[in-house]
Amino acid sequence: MRSDEPYYPINTAADRAILYGYRMMMEPYPNVIFGGRLGSYKYLDMHQAIDAALKTFENEVTAFLAGQDIPERVVMAG
């Protein structure tokens, strides 16, 4: 495999270390919602990506729009 070839995270120790690094990078941005394959660093099929996006909208964006005590958030999918 070429060193720059993209591949799926498969939950190895190396993948978990990368995910931990991403979570550390996300920490300063509590008002940003990270989602999708890139944002969650998970293998997702299409139906799972859509389901996760809909659930995020229902659980986080709808609550924000309803004026509940959720801080201002920016949604970032990828």
**Contacting positions for ligand FAD (CB under 6 A):** 36-38, 44-47, 49, 77-78
Nearest distance, CB of residue 78 and ligand FAD, angstroms: 4
* DSSP H stretches of helix in the chain: 13-26, 36-40, 46-56, 62-65
Plot region of 52 (φ>0 → left; ψ -120 to 50 → alpha; else → beta): alpha
Nearest distance, CB of residue 25 and ligand FAD, angstroms: 13
| Residue whose CB is less far from ligand FAD, 47 or 69 | 47
Q: Residue 32 corresponds to which tokens in the numbers above?
A: 């940003």
| Residue whose CB is less far from ligand FAD, 13 or 74 | 74
| Residue whose CB is less far from ligand FAD, 75 or 77 | 77
Nearest distance, CB of residue 32 and ligand FAD, angstroms: 13
Intra-chain end-to-end CA distance of the chain, in Å: 25
Q: Residue 4 corresponds to which tokens in the numbers above?
A: 């720059």
